[in-house]
Structure formats: C-alpha cells, structure tokens
Amino acid sequence: MEILTIFPIAIALAMDAFAISIISGSIYKKLGIKHALKLASFFGGFQAFMPLLGFCAAVTTKKYIQNFDHWIAFIILITIGIKMIYESFKIKVENKNFDITSTGLLLILSVATSIDALAVGMTLPLITEFVFYPALVIGIATFILSYLGVYIGKRFGHFFESKIEAVGGIVLIFIGLKILLQHIF
C-alpha cells in the first residue's frame, strides 16, 4: 500500500484522539509522562485494532459488494469527514469532575474515537490486501499524536482543538473522492 494513501488516512483518523489529548492536557495540567503514555497507548492500540476488525468484516462480504464497493467507501469516508468537520464546530462542554486517565474512561474514549477507524478498515480491501501495515501506521500515528497532544494541551490549551479535527475531516473527504474517481476512471 502506498504511503501517500495510508499516511493521510492515519493522520486524519488520529485527529479525534489528538483533540481529546489536547483537551486533557489543557484541563489536567498535572498529567505527566506516565499519564500521557497510558492515554496514547489506549488510543493508539484501539486505532490499530479497529481497522483490522473492519477489514475482516469487509473481506467476508466482498463478493457481495464488489460491484459497488467504491461507492460504499466513498460514502463512508465522506460521512466520517463531514461528521468530523461538523463536530469540530460544536461547542464542547468539559467536565472536570472525572479522571481522564482512569482505565474505564479511557476504554470508552478509545472505542468512541476509533469507530471511524473501524469504518475506514472496511474500505481498506479496496486499497490493499495487506491490512497489518496500514493498521500499524494508524496505531503509531495515533499514539504519537496523542502523546504529543497532552503536552500541546498543557502548553497551548484549546487554540488548536477544533481546527485539527476539521482538517482531519477534510482529508478523509479527499481520500473518499480519490477512491471513487480511481474506480470510475
């Protein structure tokens, strides 16, 4: 799979986790290396695992949808992209009464931020038959951005949060268009 396709997907998928990491760092100024590593490990791990699940689901149904699978990929990526752009403009209310590093909360946030990766995993059979490399790249990108996001949040607060998520959505829309146009032409 060409890196020019997987890298933008990985970065776009990491934007939700990155935004939550920035928020976490801005709210909880006392988060240290241990906390940042835990947060990044949960987000990166789930972002790597969910495309594998999506890929398996797509491969098992491929023979039934192969004539219109590019339309499915296009619709999924456009929908996720629009959702990310929309959510980037919503006002988010923070609740400072919970511990962002609690395992239960991290599990919930990790699943919530990796649903998009599950959907994208369903489009991966259109691009490649090797899913482990893209899943690894997605997981590593999310881990790195989540780890850095905690420290960016500690330093700069909410300045970047919504803009980053919107950029991720735009990238997914362009990738969806690319897949559709490649299959049509």
pTM of the model: 0.73
Task: Give the model's pLDDT for residue 63.
Answer: 76
Q: Mean pLDDT, to the nearest integer, of 91-107?
A: 67
pLDDT value for 41:
96
Q: Could you report the per-residue pLDDT of 129-160, keeping only the tens digit for each?
A: 788 999 999 999 999 999 999 888 888 765 66
Q: SS3 helix, strand, coil % of the chain, rounded to 5? A: 85, 0, 15
CA distance 147 to 159: 17
What's the mean per-residue pLDDT of the chain?
A: 81
pLDDT at residue 97 above 80?
no
Does residue 48 or residue 25 have the better pLDDT? 48
* Higher per-residue confidence, 49 vs 29: 49
Mean pLDDT of 29-41: 88
Most confidently modeled range among 5-9, 94-98, 144-148, 167-171: 144-148
Task: Tell the burial category of 128 from Cβ atoms under 10 Å away from its Cβ (0-12, 13-18, 19+).
Answer: middle
CA-CA distance, 73 to 51, in Å (whole number)?
A: 13
Q: What pLDDT score does 158 carry?
A: 58
Query: Taking Cα atoms as reference points, which of 116, 117, 92, 111 lies closest to residue 24?
Result: 92
Q: How many CB atoms lie within 10 A of CB 30?
A: 6
Q: Tens digit of pLDDT for each residue in 64-79?
A: 877 777 787 788 778 8
Residue entry with tokens 């590019």: 70
pLDDT of residue 43 exceeding 90:
yes
Q: What is the pLDDT of residue 30?
A: 75
* pLDDT above 60 for 95: no
Per-residue pLDDT band at 183 (split at 50, 70, 90)? confident
Residue 87 has a pLDDT of: 77
- Residue 99 is predicted with a pLDDT of 67
